[in-house]
């Protein structure tokens, strides 16, 4: 009786094996899908401020409007880092004109050996537009922690040198995290992809982020943003707000470093009389809906503009979605509306 029960159990297990194999295969295939690499919930990328190997200071917060591709490594790395930078060079080439809106950054995890000139030579050997960053050991530690990156020295077994002594410092390699960090145009960390990912897969994610306006994580997407400036140092911003969430939201304010002040306005027509009404209460964006800010209606009013920029940074503040940052192209006076 007991034997028949055991035999039946084993037969059942054998019948389950093909199904289990299919489940495991599907699970394995899912790792090629972008959502498996996504950072959820979307969050602002950790702060990063460091010396450029070529001179000057790099601040991640100043890269708004660009997609930033970040990796960590060191110049004495014999395999992973050259592979990573070669992948990034191929990606940069395949992106074509779109590459101008992508910032590729390589952060050294070996400041003792990676001098600024050495790091610049190394990174620029792959692409002169790539940025090498160097921090001293004290400043590097909190950056690695914030980005959840591991970097540990590995020294060789000294027994190897008993027969053949060497002079100078003990040689070492660095065990470090091999990954691509993708930061979107609004400064949010969107994906953490392994260095083994294909260039084609990486390109797909970068192009998706390049096509976005604003930050979709907030539940509000910004489309067709453009600014029209006048010689009188005033102007207007027009755009479309798309609320992808299931709850009503409200645009409550806006600001730009290019203008002394930004106000929410609406033009109201009373016959031939056109009235400009400030809207300090903001613009409601209904759930699963969109609101157009267009000429002759709702718009953002810019005051005391500085210079004649080709584009201007803009920060939008929403009641629920929070902050959305974007770069708005500027139309010259008299230009046709897009």
CA distance linking residue 175 with residue 148, whole number of Å: 14
All residues at 6 or more sequence positions from 174 whose CB lies less than 8 Å from its CB, including other chains: 74, 76, 77, 109, 110, 151, 152, 153, 154
Binding residues for Cu cation: 77, 81, 176
- 3-state SS, 34-91, equals HHHCEEEEEEECCCCEEEECCCCEEEHHHCCCCEEEEEEECCCCCCHHHHHHHHHHHH
* Degrees to nearest 5, angle at CA 207 with 335 and 327: 40
DSSP string for residues in 271-330: TTEEEEEE-TT-EEE-TTEEEEE-TTSEEEEEEEE-S--SEEEEEEEETTTEEEEEEEEE
Binding residues: 77, 81, 176
Indicate left, alpha or beta for 257 from its phi (over 0: left) and psi (-120 to 50: alpha).
alpha
């Amino acid at each position: 009786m007991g034997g028949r029960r055991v035999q039946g159990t084993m037969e059942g297990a054998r019948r389950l094996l093909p199904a289990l194999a299919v489940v495991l295969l599907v699970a394995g295939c899912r790792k090629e899908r972008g959502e498996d690499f996504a950072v959820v919930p979307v969050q602002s990328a950790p702060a990063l401020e460091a010396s450029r190997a070529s001179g000057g200071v790099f601040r991640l917060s100043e890269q708004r409007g660009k997609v930033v591709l970040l990796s960590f490594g060191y110049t004495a790395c014999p395999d992973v880092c050259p592979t990573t930078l070669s992948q990034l060079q191929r990606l940069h080439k395949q992106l074509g004109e779109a590459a101008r809106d992508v910032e590729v950054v390589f952060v050294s995890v070996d400041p003792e050996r990676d001098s600024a000139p050495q790091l610049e030579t190394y990174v620029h050997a792959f692409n002169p537009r790539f940025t090498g960053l160097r921090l001293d050991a004290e400043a590097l530690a909190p950056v690695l922690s914030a980005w959840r990156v591991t970097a540990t020295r590995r020294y060789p077994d000294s027994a190897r040198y008993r027969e053949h002594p060497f002079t100078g410092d003990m040689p070492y390699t660095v065990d470090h995290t091999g990954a691509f960090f993708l930061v979107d145009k609004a400064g949010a960390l969107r994906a953490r992809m392994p260095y083994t990912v294909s260039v084609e897969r990486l390109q797909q994610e970068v192009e998706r982020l390049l096509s976005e306006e604003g930050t979709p994580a907030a539940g509000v997407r910004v489309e067709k943003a453009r600014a029209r400036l006048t010689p009188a140092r005033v102007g207007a911003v027009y755009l479309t707000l798309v609320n992808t969430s299931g709850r009503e939201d409200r645009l409550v304010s806006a600001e730009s470093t290019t203008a002394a002040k930004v106000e929410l306005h609406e033009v109201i027509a009373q016959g031939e009389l056109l009235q400009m009404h400030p809207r300090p209460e903001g613009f409601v964006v209904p759930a699963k809906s969109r609101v157009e800010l267009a000429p002759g209606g709702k718009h953002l009013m810019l005051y005391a503009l500085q210079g004649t920029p080709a584009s201007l940074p803009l920060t939008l503040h929403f009641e629920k979605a929070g902050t959305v940052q974007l770069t708005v192209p500027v139309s010259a006076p008299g230009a046709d509306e897009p």
